[in-house]
Amino acid sequence: MDEIKALATWIDNAPDVDALCFPIANLIGRLIAERRNTLDSWERQWFTRALAGLCSNYRSNGNSTEWLRIVLVSLETALVPQELRSERKTDSSNMGAMTTAQLLVTVRALGCTVNGSEGQQLRSTASMPA
């Protein structure tokens, strides 16, 4: 996906790592919302991993791009077409058990947008370069 590639490039060039978190979280929210009625266990698992990585980035005070890179890899994996998925990449945890509503609540808790509605906490005016 072009947006994920653009964010990866932005990570390489961004002096302010914190400015990257909100565009990534907003992308996660949009991708989940667009698929809200069709998310399968694979997608929920990898979106959950992406959100967990983003939360880990916040907990680490955002001073590294490591977690953000993990988030982008998780997003790319979530979007792999069914016919190209390797079932060996799934795990036996409950990560795929989160509902779409729970995933969107997590995105909102991070203060990001879902279908244009603003989150309740942190907000950023940072925008991704074209």
Mean pLDDT, all residues of the chain? 77
Nearest 5°: phi and psi at 54? Answer: -65, -40
Q: Which two tokens stand for residue 61?
A: 């005070």
What is the value of pTM for the model shown?
A: 0.75
8 A C-beta contact, residue 105 and residue 25? no
pLDDT per residue as tens digits for the range 36-59: 899 888 899 899 999 989 888 877
126: in domain: no
* Domain assignment of residue 7, yes or no: yes
- Is the residue at 41 inside a domain? yes
User: Domain containing 90: what range?
Assistant: 2-109
Which range is least confidently modeled, 35-44, 73-82, 99-108?
99-108
Is residue 29 one of the residues assigned to a domain? yes
Q: Is residue 118 part of a domain?
A: no
Nearest CA-CA partner of 39 in 84, 83, 104? 104
28 is a domain residue = yes
C-alpha distance from residue 96 to each of 41, 49, 70, 79, 102 (Å): 5, 9, 17, 14, 11
Number of structural domains found in the chain: 1
- Report whether pLDDT(81) > 70: yes
**121 within some domain:** no
Burial letters 35-50, b for 16+ CB under 10 A, else e:
beeebeebbbbbbbbb
